[in-house]
Structures are given as structure tokens and as C-alpha cells.
Amino acid sequence: MSYQGRFRVWRGDDDAGELADYSVEVNEGEVVLDIIHRLQATQAPDLAVRWNCKAGKCGSCSAEVNGRPRLLCMTRMSTFAETDVVTVTPLRAFPVVRDLVTDVSFNYQKAREIPAFAPPKGVQPGEYRMAQEDVARSQEFRKCIECFLCQDTCHVVRDHEENKAAFAGPRFLMRVAELDMHPLDSADRVDAAQDKHGLGYCNITKCCTEVCPEHIKITDNALIPLKERVVSRKYDPIVWLGSKISRRS
Amino acid sequence: MTEATSSTDVERYDFDVVVIGAGGAGLRAAIEAREQGMRTVILTKSLFGKAHTVMAEGGAAAAMGNVNPNDNWQVHFRDTLRGGKFLNNPRMAELHAKEAPDRVWELETYGALFDRTKDGKISQRNFGGHEYPRLAHVGDRTGLELIRTMQQKIVSLQQDDEREFGDGEKFLKVLHEFTVTEVLLDGQSVSGVFGYFRQDGRFAAFEAPAVIFAAGGIGKAFKVTSNSWEYTGDGHALAMRAGATLINMEFIQFHPTGMVWPPSVKGILVTESVRGDGGVLRNSEGNRFMFDYIPDVFKAQYATTEEEADRWYKDPENNKRPPELLPRDEVARAINNEVKEGRGSPHGGVFLDVSTRLPAEEITRRLPSMYHQFKELADVDITAEPMEVGPTCHYVMGGIEVDADTAAARVPGLFAAGEVSGGMHGSNRLGGNSLSDLLVFGRRAGTGAADYVRALGDKRPALAAADVAAAAEAALRPFAVAAEDHGPLENPYTLHAELQLTMNELVGIIRRDHEIRDALVKLDELDKRLPRVSVAGDRRFNPGWHLALDLRNMLVISRAVAMAALERTESRGGHTREDHPKMDPEWRQVNLVVALEGDTVTLTRQPVPTIRVDLLRLFDREELGKYLTAAELAVLDQEEATK
């Protein structure tokens, strides 16, 4: 069942590099990460790749396979023909550290910009009561493994470095939605979603949803409802009046 | 070696507490140390949020009594000792059972969202070895929820510091993709640590009087494992080199249900929740074979017929639990035996079937990540057909010997929590007791370290420049090997593969005297070859170099495991000797302790801490008779008589 597969793998750093050609043994049931590991063990011992669990649970081995953002551990070789050349490149939206490893610190910066869960006042530990159907909405977003494929594919930043400062990206806008839908979170997050985290940049093309390995409906269940909350507040005449009055005082 | 590669420049940092590892124990320890005012740094080999804890699926065991009000800490303690075959450090098991509920509830104040009961409390699920539904969970991704919750709590503490001091990292810093290669000492006491940034290979030394190891396990020394690349025994090995002792290293948990096919995913975990939620094990003849493997010590607690076992899911009060939910060591041995006797599945496992037990939509709701894992990696639809599963190296019960209350190791300034510590789980860990262990003892390690640092005042151990320089030189050695000429060069990947095969085949799930001896001979050979390991490329994110340095840790830990496994001539929990198949009450009183004298691994015996009489009274006399010696029972009877 084995065959020699043809691969092109990016070797280099942020300044310079090239696609290197390799011929590597491929066995039944393998995924692209297996091939990268075999390359390391037999031909390219210093080939840099980030990985941990190899089971689609940690979100470390994010890269691009034939130009598509993918987890290397969840991309089965059986999805390619034996004659295909499989091209593996680092995430395009982030600076390359070396080979397939990118500097993903942008995401950790954005995580720090989202105000944390605000516990309800006067509710003691052990006394939190929530209905399953209410927690289920935020639980969907907490399935996120932070692979950052959505951050990589989102066209707002994929080829627009200049938008990065003002835009949290799908993963962290979803984090805002998650906290906003948390049954016991006591903070108001709607205005900041638009004004501080750049929700307005998103024009719901659903690219993020398409690449999500956890199949989270980022656009439909997080971003659109959040946009609706922003819109209903901005154009709600009573809210508008209230904000004018409070600003005057 | 180029100039950039050979540079021995070392960045210097100064902290109160260094936490090594960013899994559940490390994050909880860091939160505690920070909340007690310690300037704390977390050093982690992977990215922040990727720790191995995310692989934990089932849940966190805590006797909250939300689903069955009969549950309490005493019942949890009892289950934990039964699971560990009474070799547990009883004080650790007691603290764990008492404090786990508070630690779980606390997570809700950080923002965690556990699955709920009908009345809105945290839901709890059944699991192997637990008498009542006890595991707080989120579907089958509980570990991810724990990590994300504590990761976000750390961010929130940093946001507080940013507001108050204008510097979010004033008290709590996370340096990720950083590997520690040495613990440094001033006399006998910890003075700090040394290591390298994986991204660019630059060195850093941290002066700090307290170091908390939360570095996880050793699974990467074995071929078939559920553990990731990080699990190279760093914490165990570094602590030993610093003078700490390890206990119980012979006890390795082989999780009964790992994937067996396709080959590239062999070993990846299939959560015990599959069985907790109704899944059953069958052999190639279609029999639920676990009924044939209920050991005497558990006969009173497990169903003997399929009818009773099936009734238990609906009516646990009046029926005994199915034997599929025996502790992990029992199930793993049973599967191993079925396969050996020719009743295995096509790819060398057994069948785990949930498809005929629950409706499809129930399966995808309760076990979503298992559904995806099998669908995407094995092309198996678990709602329509059985899974094939077999044992996989999952967890090491053994670890750094610590004081139960403070998590302090024998070296002043060194603390340990989580999988890297030893004693809590005895000879076998119950599923669900790991996540709660991380929380309970992570917090205690944070407190222990903070108390220690406060007590030192300004008499802090100092980092010695010569030690830092020596550590830098040692870390660079694999690059320099090529320049010398003392024999053939070694490939780190080849050496690693040989080690994994040796441990898997010779010190694996079933052990024999002569095979362990063969393993020790092979380890001698690998030790000799280790200095010849050479690496290509430079210091920027170079996995070959990283593995070359990790190999040193895996080799010394493998030796510790093999030596302890050879010494213990009985079978108990995660240590099965084919040539000594019985559990021996005399051995229950013995902990095997490994340490390093120079480069030599030493092995000594010491008594297991005594179980207090009030804790022993939680068990009936007949059950104790299965574990304790006649002499121990006589003492107990005397106490009872004078009461």
C-alpha cells in the first residue's frame, strides 16, 4: 500500500526561502504530519514544524496544504492522488520563524485586548446556576482549539497587514460573542465589539467557518448575532437618546 | 558551528517563582503564586494553551454530589485508594478528595462553562472506579475547558496589573516555547533554572528561589502512547539531577482504549466516557469479555450478568456497575489477554461499541470529539459501527516525591504538582482524578512556594555564573559532536525510536524478569551512544537539536522505570509481572525510591506512609483483609478493641 509521494515544502525564514522538493514514502492511513515527521527522521532533521497532540485537539500544527489553511494532523493523505504533488507552506498571515513555523504572537496580543469574564456580583463559588440550553451557545465557541486557521484565512488581515491593529480577527470576535452570551457575565461588550475590536471590518464571507477544524459556525452563530446586537443598539432610538443624555451630564 | 550557533550569550531574569509547564497544574500554581504576591514566570515547551491537559476528555472528579447526593469526600477517598491498590500517599488522597469540589467551583468564577444538570448545577458523569457519577465535564473536551479557563484567568490577572501598574507582566509572565535544561543550585537549595527559547535557540537563565515542576509525564519513552512530543520526562529527570527523589516509577498507566488503526494514529486516546456513557467491550466472538476478568478485590462492586450491568445505567442505586468500568489497569490487562489468546479485532485490538447502545444523535452530542476523531482519522462512523481499541501508554503514576500539604520535594525550593509528582495515585490512577489532582495540588504548590519564598526573606540563593556557563556549553554539545572524531555519529531520531521500542516491548504492559534485564542492557548501550548524537542546522526552531537534548531525560527516566519494575516482584496496578502475578500485602508497605548519585541511578526501599485509622475505618474489615498484612490488621483490630 506504500508509495513514494512527491512533496514541496517551504524551507526558509521571513527574509528568504524556497519550496524544496522531496520524495517521501507514504503508507496507508497516514496524514500530512506523518510525512513531515518522516522527512525529519530521514532527510531533513532540522525541518521546523510545530505540533503536539496529533489528534486535532491542540491546534498546534496549523499550516497551508496546497494553499488551504489546514491542520497537518487532520489532513489525510488519502484525499490526494498518488501522483499529486502536495505543497506544504507556513500560515500566510503571520511572519515565518522558520520553515513551517510562524510567529503567532498577534493572536496572543489580541487575546489580551478582550476584557476577561466579569463574574456576577454576590454569587459565591458553588452557587452558579445556569441552564444547559443557555450555556450551550457559548460552549460551541469554547470548542475552539486556537489553531488560528480562521485568523490566517480571514481576508481582512490575510493580505492586509495594515488592518491588524484595529481588527481582533474571527477567533477573538467570537471570544467577545462567547462572553456576551455567557449567562452570568456581567460586563457590557457590545460597543467595544464594534469600536475596539473591529467587528465592522467583517463582511460575513464565512471563510473562517469554512476552515474551522472544530466545525464551529463562527459567522452564523457568533459574528452575525454580535453584529445584530451592535446594530440594534446603535439604531435603537431610546438607546441613542439615553447615550446623548448621559454624555451631556 | 557558525558564530550564531556557538554563541553562549545568556539573557538574565529575576523572579520569585518559576513554574515549569503550562498544563493544568502549572497554570493553577502560577495563578496561586501570583495571587499571593509572587513575581511569577511560566516557562512552557509549547505555545501557551496547547498543554497536554487539553487531551483529557472525560472530566474532573470532585465529590460535589450534584447528581447523586450520597457522594462525599470519604467515598471519593475510598475509590481513589481502591484504584491505587492502597499504595497511595493517604494524605494526598485525602486532601484531593476534600478540596476537589472547591477547585472545580472556583473555575466557574474564572468563566468555565461545564455541562449542567436539570437544576442548573454542574453535571457529573460516571467513570471507571468511581462509585457515583462524579466527573464535572464539558462533553468530551473537559481538559481543553480547564486549560482555556485558566489561560484566560491568567490573561485577566495580567489585565488587572496593566490597569493598576501600567505593566501587565509586572507580576505574571508567560514565556512560551521555552525548554528548561537545568535546575541550578546554591549549595543544596534551588537558585534558578537555565534553558533555551525554541524559536531562536537563545539562552536564558532565571534566578528564582522557588521552582515548581508541573512538567507532565514520560510517555514519549514508549512507542505506543497517547502522549505528545513534550512528554519526555524533563521534570522527573531535572528534579532528580537537582537531588530530588522519585517514587513509584514502576507504575505506568496503559490506558485500555487507544486507537489501533490506522498505524499513524496508533495510541491516540479513546475516552473512557465512551464506556461511562454505555459503550461495551466485545471480542471477535462477540462476547462482553470483561465479565470474565473481575478480580476478587472488586467482586462486591461489579455486576456479574449483562442484564444487571445494563440496568445500572438507569438504576445505579439497585444494581452493580458494569465491569467495563473497572479501573484502567484491569481493563487494559483484560484486552491484552483477549488479543494474546486470539480473540482480537482485525487490527490487533478489541471492539468498543457504542453504536448499538445509544441513538446516533445521543452519541454525537455526548461524544462529539470521539465522533470526529474516528470519522476523520480512521474513516469509522462510531454511530454505526464499533471502534477498534487497545492499550496505550497514557500516564505515569510515579514522580517526584513531595510533601502532601506543601508539594515540596526533598530539595529546598523545589516543588512539584500534577503528573510529574508521585504518590497521589498509588499504583494506578482513576480516570478523572488527574484533572482534579492538577487543580488541588497546583494550588497547593503555588502556596507552598509562596510560603517558602516569604520565609527566606532576603537570604536568597544566588545563581552561580559558572553553572550558567556550564549549562550553556552542555546545551550546545550536540552541535559540536561532528567536529570530534571518536566513532560514528548518531541520529537523535534513530536513538529515540530504539528507546521507544525497547521500553514498549520489554518494560511495557506485561513485564518479565529477563526482559527487563535485556532492557537495562539496551539502555546501557543507548547511554554510551548518547554523547555521539549530532545535529544538523542551526539553533532556530531545530527539532533535531531539541530531541537530542530531550533524549538525555528520557534515557535516565527509562532506567528509573526499568530498575523499579525489576525490583518489585509482585503485580499491582500499573505494574504487571507475568512471573509474579499476585498482589502481595508485604509489597503494599513498600515505596521504591530512585535518585541520582553522580550519573548513577540508585534504588532504595522506604515504607509507604501509614493510613490513619479514621481513614481505614471508611473500609470494611473484609475489604482491608485483601490489601493489608496480618500484622497491619492486628494493629487495626487492637485499635478497634480499645476504642
Q: How confident is the model at residue B98 (pLDDT cuts 50, 70, 90)?
A: very high
pLDDT (0 to 100) of residue B133: 96
Q: Which residues of A touch B262 (CB under 8 A)?
A: 28-30
As a three-state string, the secondary structure of B179-201 is: EEEEEEEECCEEEEEEEEECCCC
Nearest to A108 among B48, B144, B229 (CB): B48
B262 upstream amide cis, omega within 30 of 0: yes
Residue B397 predicted with pLDDT over 80: yes
Cβ pair B158:A51 closer than 8 A: no
Residue B297 predicted with pLDDT over 70: yes
pLDDT (0 to 100) of residue A75: 94
List the single range of A128-132, A143-147, A233-237, A242-246 with lowest mean pLDDT: A242-246
Residue A247 predicted with pLDDT over 70: no
Among residues of chain B, what percentage have pLDDT more than 70?
99
Residue A249 predicted with pLDDT over 60: no
The overall average pLDDT reported for chain A is 94
Q: Which residues of A touch B155 (CB under 8 A)?
A: 111-112, 116
- Segment B620-641 mean pLDDT: 91
Nearest to A98 among B49, B102, B540 (CB): B540
pLDDT (0 to 100) of residue B261: 86
Q: Which of B28, B141, B275, B366 is catalytic?
A: B275
Q: Which residues of A touch B102 (CB under 8 A)?
A: 125-126
With CA atoms as reference, the chain A residue closest to B497 would be A41
Nearest to B263 among A27, A46, A132 (CB): A27
Q: How confident is the model at residue B265 (pLDDT cuts 50, 70, 90)?
A: confident
Q: Which amino acid is at A52?
A: N
Cβ pair A57:B369 closer than 8 A: yes
- Segment A220-244 mean pLDDT: 84
Q: How far apart are CA B481 and CA B478, in angstroms?
A: 5
Sequence-ordered list of residues with C-beta below 8 angstroms from that of A107, at least 6 positions apart, any chain: A146, A148, A151, A169, A171, A172
Q: How large is the C-alpha radius of gyration of chain A?
A: 22
Provide the b/e sequence for B408-441 (b: ≥16 CB within 10 Å).
bbbbbbbbbbbbbbbbbbbbbbbbbbbbbbbbbb
Q: How far apart are CA B70 and CA B87, in angstroms?
A: 26
Q: Which residues of A touch B48 (CB under 8 A)?
A: 108
Closest CA to B446 of B97, B171, B211: B211
Cβ pair B47:A50 closer than 8 A: yes
- Segment B342-354 mean pLDDT: 94
Point out which residues pair with B189 in neighbouring strands: B186
Among residues of chain A, what percentage have pLDDT more than 90?
88
B contact residues 182-201, partner A, Cβ 8 Å cutoff: 199-200
Q: How confident is the model at residue B257 (pLDDT cuts 50, 70, 90)?
A: very high
List the single range of A58-62, A129-133, B145-149, B275-279 with lowest mean pLDDT: B275-279
B255 is catalytic: yes
Best mutation target among A128, A132, A145, A179 (most B Cβ atoms within 10 Å) is A128
Task: Please tell me the distance in Å from B295's CA to the nearest CA on chain A.
Answer: 34
Residue A248 predicted with pLDDT over 60: no
Residue A75 φ/ψ, nearest 5 degrees: -105, 105
Residue B553 φ/ψ, nearest 5 degrees: -70, -45
Residue B115 near chain A (CB below 8 Å): yes
CB atoms within 10 A of CB B584: 15
Residue B352 φ/ψ, nearest 5 degrees: -115, 115
Among residues of chain B, what percentage have pLDDT more than 90?
88
Provide the b/e sequence for B80-115 (b: ≥16 CB within 10 Å).
bbbbbbbbbbbbbbbbbbbbbbebbbbbbbbbbbbb
Q: How far apart are CA A62 and CA A74, in angstroms?
A: 10
What's the CA angle centered on B472, arms B468 and B477, to 5 degrees? 145
Residue B358 predicted with pLDDT over 70: yes
Which ipTM value was assigned to this complex?
0.94
pLDDT (0 to 100) of residue B484: 57
Q: How confident is the model at residue B111 (pLDDT cuts 50, 70, 90)?
A: very high
The overall average pLDDT reported for chain B is 95
List the single range of B12-21, B402-411, B486-495, B605-614 with lowest mean pLDDT: B486-495
The predicted-structure confidence for A183-200, as pLDDT tens digits, reads as follows 999 999 999 999 999 999
The predicted-structure confidence for B52-76, as pLDDT tens digits, reads as follows 999 888 899 999 999 999 999 999 9
Task: Give yes or no for a contact between B357 and B345, defined as CB atoms under 8 angstroms apart.
Answer: no
- Segment B382-401 mean pLDDT: 96
Judged by phi (left if over 0) then psi (alpha if -120 to 50, else beta), residue B584 lies in beta
pTM confidence score: 0.94
Residue B486 φ/ψ, nearest 5 degrees: -125, 40
Closest CA to A56 of B224, B256, B267, B54: B54
Q: Which residues of A touch B540 (CB under 8 A)?
A: 13, 48, 97-98
Residue B411 predicted with pLDDT over 80: yes
The predicted-structure confidence for A108-141, as pLDDT tens digits, reads as follows 999 999 999 999 999 999 999 999 999 999 999 9
- Segment A142-147 mean pLDDT: 97
H helices of B267-379, in order, are 273-276, 306-314, 328-340, 360-366, 368-378
For the CA atoms of B380, B386, B387, B389, what is the dihedral angle to 10 degrees? Answer: -160
- Segment B406-422 mean pLDDT: 98
pLDDT (0 to 100) of residue B3: 62
